[in-house]
Amino acid sequence: MKKKKKKKKTWLIICLLIVSVLVIYGGIYLYAYLQPKLPIGGANGYYFYDNEGNAYDTGASSDWASLDDISDYLIEATIDTEDKHFYKHHGFDFLRIAKALMINISSGENKQGASTITQQYSKNLFLEFDKTWSRKIKEALITIRLETHYSKDEILEGYLNTINYGGIFGIENAANYYFNKEAKDLNLAEASMLAGIPKNPSAYSPLANEKKAKERQWVILKAMVDNEDITESEAKEAYKTKLVYQKGEEDTKSDLTRYYQDAVMDELASIKSIPSSFLETGGIKIYTNLDSKAQSSLEDSISKNMTNKDIQMAGIMMDPNTGKVLALTGGMDYNKSQYNRATKAKRQVGSTIKPFLYYSALENGFTPSTTFTSEKTTFSFSGGKTYSPKNYNDKYANGPISLAAAISYSDNIYAVKTHLFLGESALPEILNRVGINQTFEEVPSLALGAEEIGLMDMVSAYGTLASEGYKTKPYFISKVTDMDGNVLYEYNPSPENVLNKNTVYILNELLTTTYAKEFEDYNVPTCLSIAPKLSRKYAIKSGTTKTDNLIFGYNKDVVLGLWSGYDDNKEVSNKDSSNIKNTWADAIEKYLDGKSDEETWYETPSNVVGVAVDPISGKLATDGNKAKILYYLKGTEPSLAEVSLDESVPTVKAT
């Protein structure tokens, strides 16, 4: 009797739970039904504008194809692979969810997902990118709202017009981009290839990795066979068909703007002040700082000079006075790799760190004439530790050289001596002050850039020098509005004065020595090879490690930073170093074409004086053929005596 009562009670509890779930589930659907209808034909419409207010093409879906105008093969391939029960469920495939949970729990890995097409479409419509539970709940509500207000065909149509086909959004754009045809004309081979891309656009784009794309294509074709949409012989024939990509390889240069677009979207994701209610508005307008002249100057220069197509590169052009990012590329070919090295990668920066070391030196009493001896040197420390850096090509003066010469030749011995003389905490302090917000190990090799720093942080730091000491935050988006012009967000720069203007001016002048012919002597300036290309004055510093080439340069209007190297850290060559320098020179010259040196260089501060000195020794010039005007704070210009600090550094001359 007790067992019967217990069973009856258990069944009652189960029934109550089922009823409760059904009531809650029904209540959610009723709530969704009573909500306003989402305008899916235009929702998630991103409209991008450059710094002059002109709309520009970003690969976003501009051509909306009706379901009747999309190949049946593409539709079948998508449903069979992504959501074979699409026409049977109401937004969530609970059996698939349960199966995915069992597989993931048993394997201990997140191997299988269970998102339906409706769920994926709701993500495409949802412009907040955080991974919180709040977002997941909102996505679920959007999924239910879509299912209650729209037919399955309408949802599928919207999904196919918004998904990512390797940086190209929407099936009509993808069909045109890859095969130069309309979506309705895609054959089985083409459709099965495109249907495989959205699962992992960077990996399964045939332009990025054809081998992986073909493997994915076979998965799609097999799913179509299993669902009896095609025969096995049709699948094999489609797989064997050689596909010709009409547009993807024609002009990779123009695709580089999409790295800028991705950076814009990352910044949009971080803006918390944009209300989620703009989903109801049918789209937003994003006013960016993209300067079409800057971007084309950068892209044209890359196309002209970066002859090694296997190497990767990244570049950023910024207005140092406001922080506006004018142009950007995160790689050599967006089709092959969407990884944005300009905003995401960290690499060793080599000698490009030295200007910040030398600012600290100038701030602490150094002048352009201050000398250290340049020779093979072993630095000795407590505990028997030693450090033996070398100069590039093992070239040394074997005598004292000025700070100006050390900058011109990028002398490593001088840099380490300066670093140790100032104290190893001085350089990290300056780097933090100019906005590189990371912890640096206080070691001798930091003076030679043995620390990994992001390109954006470096460009921003150089921007502080270019703006005569004002730190600004780099940014891509100036304003965001809804479709009616109501402002949802607007950025107002707030430069912060962190460096002394007089000292910055002296350093900026010193950085022109990197291409000054007056410094041709036992060594040559590091950027002398590009001097014939430069029609105006720039502060420039290049840097090289075994795996990286970098160059940063600026005047008061613009700062441009470039990096090149290999993602797998393969060693770079001398030719690669030459290519990136020429890329820099051509890009900045083309962008500033039409502006004179007087317009783009700095006015000498009243407390700074120029003096003709011998470039190598830093002493007052006695030979007019070996003289260079260097700049000093008044009262610190050189006398007949040489200023040397060698005795203050713990070194042992190498034998």
Its domain, for residue 381, covers 296-653
Same domain, 367 and 235: no
Determine the average pLDDT of the residues in 554-567: 97
Token pair 């040397």 in the structure block, residue? 644
Q: Give domain status of residue 441, yes or no.
A: yes
**What residue type is assigned to position 654 of the chain?**
A
C-alpha angle with apex 209: 113 to 561, nearest 5 degrees?
100
Could you read off the pLDDT of 483-518 as tens digits, one per residue? Answer: 788 899 999 999 999 999 999 999 999 999 999 999
Please tell me the predicted confidence (pLDDT) of residue 98: 57
Same domain, 328 and 398: yes
Please tell me the predicted confidence (pLDDT) of residue 565: 97
> How many domains, in total, are found in the chain?
2
Going by pLDDT thresholds of 50, 70 and 90, the confidence category of residue 279 is very low
Going by pLDDT thresholds of 50, 70 and 90, the confidence category of residue 640 is low
pLDDT at 111 over 50: no
Going by pLDDT thresholds of 50, 70 and 90, the confidence category of residue 575 is very high
Token pair for residue 293? Answer: 């002249």
Q: Give domain status of residue 332, yes or no.
A: yes
Q: Give domain status of residue 538, yes or no.
A: yes
Could you read off the pLDDT of 328-379 as tens digits, one per residue? Answer: 999 998 877 889 999 999 999 999 999 999 999 999 999 999 999 999 999 9
The per-residue DSSP string of 234-265 comes to HHHHHHHSPP--SSTTT-HHHHTHHHHHHHHH
Going by pLDDT thresholds of 50, 70 and 90, the confidence category of residue 64 is confident
Same domain, 243 and 346: no
Same domain, 360 and 240: no
Q: Give domain status of residue 212, yes or no.
A: yes
Q: pLDDT exceeding 70 applies to what percent of the chain?
A: 81
Active centre residues (catalytic): 82, 351
Q: Give domain status of residue 274, yes or no.
A: no
Considering only CA atoms, give the Rg of the chain: 31
**What residue type is assigned to position 23 of the chain?**
V
Going by pLDDT thresholds of 50, 70 and 90, the confidence category of residue 248 is very low
Determine the average pLDDT of the residues in 518-542: 96
In angstroms, what CA-CA distances link 64 with 152, 160, 239, 266, 556? 17, 9, 28, 25, 45
Same domain, 429 and 504: yes
Same domain, 497 and 583: yes
Token pair for residue 540? Answer: 């420039």
Same domain, 234 and 338: no
Pairing state of beta strands 452-454 and 386-387? unpaired
pLDDT at 9 over 80: no
pTM: predicted TM-score of the whole model, two decimal places:
0.79
Is residue 504 within a helix (H) or strand (E), and if so which, with residue range?
Answer: helix 501-510
Please tell me the predicted confidence (pLDDT) of residue 84: 85
Same domain, 474 and 600: yes
Total residue count of the chain as it appears in this document: 655
Same domain, 209 and 325: no
Q: Give domain status of residue 64, yes or no.
A: no
d(CA 321, CA 323): 6
d(CA 432, CA 446): 14
